[in-house]
Amino acid sequence: MSVALPWPERPDKSGSATPGEKKEQHTKTRTNAREIAAHLLYAMEYTGQPADRTLEARLEPDYYRGLAQESEAYAERPGKKQLAYIRAIVCGVTEKQEELNRIIAQYAIGWNLGRISRLARTFLRIALYECLYMEEIPNGVAINEAVKLTKSYDDEAAKFVNGILGAFVRGGCEIPPAPVQEAPECLEEEAPAADAPEAAQNPAAEAAAVAQGAAE
């Protein structure tokens, strides 16, 4: 079964590596899990599918085996630790995406977020999330991994990713505040007209007046 991945094709930079060596490079490593997480996040931008459904569908064994025909990253199903990492990244990046986008926008001077390639945005978000929320991963490792994976697809994008992440870490890994939204102005309650009869201003008074008239 062939399952098309909405993901850029990796240029062949393997040189004289044997098929066995290529498979070993992609099997049961954090780097491999990071790339799979990137694939899923990238696909979600196209499908609009929520994180839980994407993880359930694309990590299902039969589906996963089908992907092995299209990417070496799927040559072998990840172990428990790698699966836990993939789920943490996909769910975490999805939850914090607005926050991560603000960081990218702050350091991508002169660049609108929409002009940054999906590939670069995806690896940037993953590395930023790791720096902020995964204490077990040193910032340097998060940056190096993001740059290395991006470079395996696009050398120029890798330089961009390295620049953004480096500036973020040098800036103290601070999260820009969310833009303040002005509350809508409340409409003032209209006061009763000054010359209106008391009964018109007060329904209870009107009812009492009607009852008194009937008694007379």
- Token pair recorded at residue 157: 């994008």
The tens digit of pLDDT for each residue in 51-78 reads: 999 999 888 888 888 887 777 788 888 8
At residue 216, the pLDDT reads 52
Alpha helices, DSSP H only, in the chain? Answer: 19-25, 30-47, 51-58, 61-67, 80-95, 97-107, 118-133, 139-151, 155-170, 198-201, 203-215
At residue 100, the pLDDT reads 97
Residue type (1 letter), 80: K
pLDDT for 25 beyond 70: no
Lowest mean pLDDT among 28-37, 104-113, 177-186: 177-186
pLDDT for 179 beyond 60: yes
Check if the beta carbon of residue 118 is closer than 8 Å to that of residue 42. yes
Residue type (1 letter), 25: Q
Residue type (1 letter), 162: N
Q: Is 84 helix (H, G, I), strand (E, B) or coil?
A: helix
pTM (2 d.p.): 0.74
pLDDT for 114 beyond 80: yes
Q: What percent of the chain has pLDDT over 70?
A: 71
Domain chopping of the chain, boundaries: 19-170
Lowest mean pLDDT among 5-9, 26-30, 141-145, 187-191: 187-191
* CATH superfamily of this structure's domain 19-170: NusB-like (1.10.940.10)
Lowest mean pLDDT among 173-177, 178-182, 212-216: 212-216
DSSP 4-49: --SSPPPP---TT--HHHHHHHTSSSHHHHHHHHHHHHHHHHHH--
Lowest mean pLDDT among 6-10, 148-152, 203-207: 203-207
